Structure 1
Amino acid sequence: MDITERLTFFAALFKVNENPKLGMWLLYITIILLCVVVYKLGFARKLPMLKNVVIYAFLALGCTILTFFAVFLPIAEGLVVAALILIIYKIRLHQEKKQQSQGNEV
């Protein structure tokens, strides 16, 4: 069995098997960005600056572990799906609030 058959989409996209150093860094950055988007859309609250720094530092630390899993498991792909679901939820929530505010004005 060839290892390239077992790579996930993002690992194959970044060619982790051909250039592991650059590929893993790109995968790590992708996972961090996707985690930040999912966190901001689903879980973020207004916090003081220092607490935000601590949260994002631990988020980056956790993404280090996720990056190693993401070579053969669909971690980044799952984060993309989670981000899309949360984006759809936020759009629908915004539309519903807009309709309610228009209904109250009439």
Structure 2
Amino acid sequence: MEVRRIGLGPGETYTLRLPGRGARGYVWTWQVTGDEDAVTVAVADAGPGAERGPLPGEAVERAYTLRGRRPGARARIRFAQIRPPYPQEAPYDELLLEVEVHGKR
């Protein structure tokens, strides 16, 4: 599992782009732990081709926008690429993002 560390200021954003495998039934999920109100996570524009939809077999990149909220807070966001019909399977890919929001509490 890849681990990345980033720092954000309150209101500052960071866009995370993750490779897609939608043609094979995989989707990205995320879970925030630690100071859960440290950041928000929102699905962003998926990039080129998003408006037309994927072509058969095409991998579509997924983008997520994180926004720092509470100064001095820390959160861990675990992104996992899974196939929802098969929850017992291990994720195809995972990423752990450790986020620190700069500033004083």
Give the TM-score normalised by the residue count of structure 1: 0.26
| Larger-Rg structure | 1
Higher helix share: 1
Which structure's relative contact order is higher, taking Cα pairs within 8 Å and 6+ residues apart?
2
